[in-house]
Amino acid sequence: MNKKYIIAAAFLILGAVNQSCSDEFIDVSPTEAIPESNLDIYNTNDGATSFVTAIYAKFLDWNMSTFAWIGVTSIVSDDADKGSSPGDSGSDKDILDALNFTPSTPSFKELFASNYQGINRVNQALKYIPQLDKADPELRKRLIGEAKFLRAFMYFTLVKSFGGVPLVDHVPVSGNEADRVMTLTRKSKEEIYAFIEQDLKDAIEALPNKSVYTGNNVGRASLGAAHALLAKVYLYQKKWQLAVDECNLVTGYSLTPNFQDIYKVSGENNAESIFEINGSGDTAGRAIQQYSQVQGARGTTGWGWGFATPTQGLYDAYSATDTRRDATIIHRSMTLYDGYFVGPNVENKFYNYKAYSSNYRDQASTDVNIRYLRYAEILLIKAEAMNELGQTSAAIPFLNQVRNRAGIGDTPGVSQADVRADIWKQRRLELAFEHDRWFDLVRTGQAAAAMAADGGKVFKVGTHELFPLPQDFIMEAGGLSAQNPGY
């Protein structure tokens, strides 16, 4: 998602799309947002593009990418504590940190609703773009591919979080009973995964290589991004060979030699980047709303609220020679890469360095990007899948590429079990604060042990593998959807 392009095009339809995102979880009357009689004003290349740019713009929103998302991916895990001041609960971040969450915990409502708001924008794009016959056909094909990639991305978030969820694959018609039932009825997680796979296969047929995008289009979803996300989707389902096959199709990328450079402005959308959410500048509407501020150092030499502070356990998991540690974790009395000194009296011991903004440190809206898919992860996915297929010796070189970039040398693992353990550890150290840790713990069966080691927290096996569906949604569904077990 290009930083400048959001402003240039998104507001062409963003206001209309927002009208379709009501206070309900899944609005059943989005057709009212864009009257058919007004569709002709979008019948241009820019008009067609604006439908998809509005989808990207959803990822800048507070309820999509900031406080709730940080809570349910980082704070809930063993990588981060609530942080901030002891008396500041952050609405429910103390509850998430302690694993005491319930269906009424607000962050789950935001997680659920924001992704369906984004899916609603996708479905509008898929409905209207084919009707824009004055827009370039090849552009329309690419835009549909981008929309399907983004829908797959959001459904992947939902299925990892909640398991089975409603499958809303088109714009519902107001007053249509079948559509009402569609929006309120859970499908199985297997059906959701199948839908994600098909969206990504469709995207693969439509998207160009990353190198094709230039100027204002840099950062849009590419062919490599679709293959990479599909590899990850297969990984989560333990479809090992399919994951390897997709990894083999992610070409044209390379590791950034200096790990910390990835997270600077100069490292945005670089050779390692496969897909990231872009934020730009100190102007509201361009940045990911307060993403940096929420996680910034708190205190007299700080600039933020101090939430999602790295745990001592995460810090200790890195060896002293691992270059990723001091590029991931800010500590007291540390001079940052831009010369800024974090004094000894900031409130918390550690902070998330990957959320740091050098250019707009003291602004609510900053230029921080969220890196979601990097080539390093593709190497780790390939290593994990090959190792699970019994190809341990062939998997090790891919693992070693990640380790050697970090300055820790080759893996000591030789057996399948030891290599598996190291791959899982390197995922933690490599991808810390990139919103994967909790889901990795769950999918690999490590969650109960990891939570016990993180201050004796209790992971309820059979319950905590999934988050609770929001209670408001369960009530709205009126019996059409049941709550997850244990809640």
The pLDDT > 70 percentage for the chain reads 92
pLDDT range class, residue 33, cuts 50, 70, 90? low
pLDDT of residue 284: 75
For β-strands 341-342 and 350-352, DSSP reports them as unpaired
Question: What distances in angstroms separate CA 90 from CA 68, 84, 99, 347, 357, one per listed residue?
Answer: 10, 8, 15, 16, 22
Residue 164: partners with Cβ closer than 8 Å, 6 or more residues away: 186, 187, 188, 189, 191, 192
**In this structure, what are the phi and psi dihedrals at residue 469, rounded to the nearest 5 degrees?**
-65, 145
- The answer to whether residue 111 scores a pLDDT higher than 90 is yes
Name the more confident of 362 and 306: 306
- What average pLDDT does the segment 260-266 reach? 96
In this prediction, residue 38 carries a pLDDT of 79
What whole-number distance in Å separates Cα of residue 90 and Cα of residue 98? 13
Question: Percent of the chain at pLDDT above 90?
Answer: 89
How far, in Å, CA of 352 to CA of 328, rounded? 6
Q: Write phi, then psi, for 38 (nearest 5 degrees).
A: -100, 0
Q: Is the dihedral of CA 305, 311, 316, 317 positive or negative?
A: negative
| pLDDT recorded at residue 362 | 86
| Four-residue CA torsion sign, 354, 360, 365, 367 | negative
- pLDDT tens-digit series, residues 273-290: 999 999 888 777 789 999
What local confidence, expressed as pLDDT, does residue 28 receive?
35
As a CATH number, domain 3-221+467-477 is: 1.25.40.390
252: left (phi over 0), alpha (psi -120 to 50) or beta: left
b or e along 360-379 (b: 16 or more beta carbons within 10 Å of the residue's beta carbon)?
bbebebbbbbbbbbbbbbbb
Q: Taking a C-beta distance cutoff of 8 angstroms, is the pair 434, 354 a contact? A: yes
Mean pLDDT, range 133-154, rounded to an integer: 98
Average pLDDT score, the chain: 93
CA distance 184 to 188: 13
- The top-scoring range by mean pLDDT among 17-26, 88-97, 214-223 is 88-97
Residue with tokens 């369906």: 116
* Confidence tier at 216 by pLDDT (50, 70, 90): confident
Q: Which of 274, 296, 235, 247 lies closest to 371 in space, CA to CA?
A: 274
DSSP track, 50-94: HHHHHHHHHTTSHHHHSHHHHIIIIITSTTEEEES-TT--TTTHH
Task: Identify residue 137 by its one-letter amino acid code.
Answer: P
Q: What angle do CA 381, 393, 238 make, to 5 degrees?
A: 35
Query: What residues does CATH 1.25.40.390 cover in the chain?
Result: 3-221+467-477
Own/partner pairs, 390-397, CB within 8 angstroms, 24+ separation = 390/416, 392/416, 392/419, 395/419, 395/423
Q: Helices 106-128 and 137-162: crossing angle, nearest 10°?
A: 160
pLDDT for the residue 87: 95
Higher pLDDT, 167 or 26: 167
Distance of alpha carbon 325 from alpha carbon 322, whole angstroms: 6
pLDDT tens-place string over residues 375-417: 999 999 999 999 999 999 999 999 999 999 999 999 999 999 9
| In the predicted structure, residue 328 carries a pLDDT above the cut 90 | yes
Closest of 125, 97, 124, 14 to residue 59, by C-alpha: 14
Residue 173 has pLDDT above 60, yes or no: yes
Identify the pLDDT of residue 368. Answer: 93
| pTM strictly above 0.75 | yes
Count of alpha carbons within 13 Å of 392, Cβ hemisphere only?
13
The torsion angles phi and psi of 182, rounded to 5 degrees, stand at -60, -45
Residue 228 pLDDT > 70 = yes
The sign of the dihedral angle between the CA atoms of 386, 392, 397, 403 is: positive
Burial of 380 (0-12, 13-18, 19+ CB in 10 A): buried
Q: What DSSP line would sit under 173-187, residue for residue? A: PTT-HHHHHHHH-BP
Q: Which of 50, 4, 276 has its CA nearest to residue 143? A: 50
